Structure 1
Amino acid sequence: MQTDDLIRALAGNVAPVSPHLVERQLAMGIAAGAVATLLAIASTLGFRPDLAAAMHDFTFWMKWTYTISLGVGAIAATVHLARPDATRAQWLWLLVIPFGLLACVAASELARTPFDGWLPLWLGQSWKRCSIFVAMLAAPIFIGLIWAFRQFAPTRLRLTGATAGLASGACAATLYGLHCPEASALFVLTWYSLGMGLAALAGTLIGPRFLRW
């Protein structure tokens, strides 16, 4: 058999692939992981008792705007990096924008608060456990993403693991907000960000082991 005939024979047995396979598969992985995380919150931590009233407050949506915007950016980067021909996502620096905007809100809070109130504003009531909870709750979502990646062929494994970890952490932080009553922008900027950063670090370290194909 000549080379051209062999190529045609091999190509003829390839099933067509949906142009939105990556997005659909990742969405399924995130959704499955998010359901598991939500069940974990409901069964162990519980939802804040004033959740209905809190959803009419600025601080609740401040937290969600921050975590969701980071999540959307990280998911977009993960979708891009899932393909074997992906270039380095040069626009990842845009993820700094939500952090910078929340830092401005936090600075405004500090300017309006007497100096002796800065420490309670920063630590809140749950600083010792917030970051750990966010990182732990990210695990089911990260597992869902790893499952989705079994269908793909990423080549930038550490960067892909980092963005998948950040996406998982941001989704987990969003859901954790249903439990967490902390209302300070400085608290969210510090401890939520640390939790998401830990999830991204975990993705960087362990991602290549599971993403390799």
Structure 2
Amino acid sequence: MQTDDLIRALAGDARPVPRHAVEHRVGIGLAGGAIVTLAAMAATLGFRPDLGAAIQAFPFWMKWAYTLSLGIGAIGATIYLARPDARRARWLWFLALPLLLLMVAAASELIRTPVEGWLALWLGHSWTKCSMLVAGLSVPLFVGLLWAFRRLAPTRLRLTGAMAGLASGACAATLYGLHCPEVSATFVLTWYTLGMALATLGGALAGPRFLRW
């Protein structure tokens, strides 16, 4: 059989890919991971007892605005990079905007607070465990994305892994906010960001190994 005949024979059995197939598969992977993460958090950490009152206050939504915006941006980048024809995404720098806005909020918070109160804003009550909890809770979400990528074809493996890690970390940080009572922008800027950065680093390291096809 000649090469052209082989290509035609293989193409004859090809079926059209459903529209938004990548988005659906990534969404299913994230949803499955989120369910596992939420169940694990409920079983081990629990939810903050004043959650009903907390969701009516600005600090709760400040945290969610930060983590959700990062998560949505990273999920969009992950979906884009999941395709084999993905090129260098020059728009990825937009992911820095939520960080810059939170830095402004943290700076404003510090300006309004006497210097002797800065340490309390920075460390809160849970700085020793916050970042590791966020990174740990991101693992089921990242595994869900790895499942999604079994039928996808990324070519920029390290960058794709990093964006998948950031998406997992940001979603985990959003869910962790249902437990964490910390309200300081300075705390969130430091320890939530560190947890998401650890998840991003883990994804970048895992990408070349687990996203290869």
| One-letter amino acid of the counterpart of residue 59, structure 2 | T
Which residue number corresponds to residue 97 of structure 1? Answer: 97
- 1:212 lines up with 2:193 in the alignment: no
Which residue number corresponds to residue 28 of structure 1? Answer: 28
Which residue number corresponds to residue 79 of structure 1? Answer: 79
Alpha-carbon distance in structure 2 between the residues aligned to 1:28 and 1:3: 38
Alpha-carbon distance in structure 1 between the residues aligned to 2:2 and 2:83: 31
Alpha-carbon distance in structure 1 between the residues aligned to 2:26 and 2:3: 37
Alpha-carbon distance in structure 2 between the residues aligned to 1:6 and 1:199: 44
Provide the alpha-carbon RMSD of the alignment: 0.9
Which residue number corresponds to residue 186 of structure 2? Answer: 186
Which residue number corresponds to residue 11 of structure 2? Answer: 11
Match of 1:150, SS state, is: helix
Which residue number corresponds to residue 154 of structure 2? Answer: 154
Which residue number corresponds to residue 128 of structure 1? Answer: 128
Alpha-carbon distance in structure 1 between the residues aligned to 2:2 and 2:88: 38
Alpha-carbon distance in structure 1 between the residues aligned to 2:75 and 2:128: 28
| One-letter amino acid of the counterpart of residue 120, structure 1 | A
Match of 1:207, SS state, is: helix
Question: What are the Cα deviations for residues 52-106 of structure 1, in whole angstroms up to 9, with x where unaligned?
Answer: 0000000000000000000000000000000111001111100110000011111
**Any gaps of 5 or more consecutive residues in structure 1?**
none
Which residue number corresponds to residue 175 of structure 1? Answer: 175
Which residue number corresponds to residue 45 of structure 1? Answer: 45
TM-score, normalised relative to structure 2: 0.98
Which residue number corresponds to residue 61 of structure 1? Answer: 61
* 1:3 Cα offset (Å): 4.2
| One-letter amino acid of the counterpart of residue 163, structure 2 | T
Alpha-carbon distance in structure 1 between the residues aligned to 2:122 and 2:191: 9
Alpha-carbon distance in structure 1 between the residues aligned to 2:124 and 2:146: 34
Judge which range, 202-211 or 43-52, deviates more.
Answer: 202-211
| One-letter amino acid of the counterpart of residue 155, structure 1 | T
TM-score, normalised relative to structure 1: 0.98
* 1:4 Cα offset (Å): 3.7
| One-letter amino acid of the counterpart of residue 7, structure 2 | I
Which residue number corresponds to residue 116 of structure 1? Answer: 116
Match of 1:118, SS state, is: helix
**Any gaps of 5 or more consecutive residues in structure 2?**
none
Which residue number corresponds to residue 198 of structure 2? Answer: 198
Alpha-carbon distance in structure 1 between the residues aligned to 2:189 and 2:9: 56
Question: What are the Cα deviations for residues 3-56 of structure 1, in whole angstroms up to 9, with x where unaligned?
Answer: 443332221111111121100000000000000000011000000000000000
How many residues align? The count is 213
* 1:153 Cα offset (Å): 1.0
Query: Structure 1 segments of 4 or more deviating over 6 A?
Result: none
